A = this chain, B = another copy of it.
Amino acid sequence: MSSLKGFQIQRENTIKNLKAEIKNGRVDAKIIPLLEEINSIPYYYTTSSCAGRIVVLELPQLGDKKNAVFLGRWHRMVYRREVEETFRKSSRGYIWFLAQSPIFHVAAYTMEDADRLLKAGYAAGFKHSGLKNIGDKIIVELTSTERLDAPIGRDGLILCSEEYLELLVENANLVIKRGEEKLMRLKREVSSIKDEYLGGGGQNPLGGGNTY
């Protein structure tokens, strides 16, 4: 566990950077209220997040994410035709169509704080959540099980039919829709944590709760 002072400094810097990112329009508007709610509790700060997305990727090899090329990326539901339009940019390797649920990484002050947030995540439907780093920093990963990962072509050639692509898009859009519902549930759960901490009536050991 990091020291109180160390945690506070890292927390303030990270929140400052996030505010700059938000100002520059680099953070999906859909998750800003949730990020702000988490960051208003002095025992937590968000380190990275994604609201959920639909992606068309070109991968030279399976799992070779380092060399992946994004052909298309949306943080919303999509139409089949806008997916198809990205295929023109493909050239070499496997073309994959992915839909990913929201994912959050949140630093927690103590293991107890981490555990409390994990429970909130599970309650909101983020069933694949867990702790990532231990030792120097405690990071809670909140994520869900809904996803879609399908290869759809190779070396510039699309190997699936229009009808099949329609089925993929339909299911990808469902991943996004479910993700949005879970984001709302998570915000409510985080508000409950905040109420618990504030409701104790005791002194806030970290001071300066609402930095937002």
Contacts and interface: CB of A to CB of B under 8 A. Distances in A.
Given A150-B149, A159-B164, A132 B134 contact: no
A62 B159 contact: no
Interface in A144-190: 144-154, 159-161, 163-164, 167-168, 171, 174-175, 178
A81 interface: no
B151 A171 contact: yes
Interface stretch (A27-35, A110-118, A191-199): A110-118
A52 interface: no
Contact of A160 (B141, B153, B164): B164
Contacts of A147: 149
Contacts of A94: 171
A25 B146 CA distance: 32
Contacts of A202: none
Interface string A111-146: 100110010000000000011101100000100111
Contacts of A89: none
Contact of A134 (B114, B160, B174): B114
A151 B167 contact: yes
A153 B171 CA distance: 11
Contacts of A174: 62
A205 interface: no
Contacts of A148: 149-151
Interface string A54-78: 0000000011010000000000000
A183 to B, nearest CB: 15
A48 B63 CA distance: 25
Contacts of A178: 62-63
Given A134-B118, A149-B148, A150-B149, A164 B161 contact: yes
A168 B149 CA distance: 10
Interface of A: 62-63, 65, 94, 111, 114-115, 118, 130-132, 134-135, 141, 144-154, 159-161, 163-164, 167-168, 171, 174-175, 178
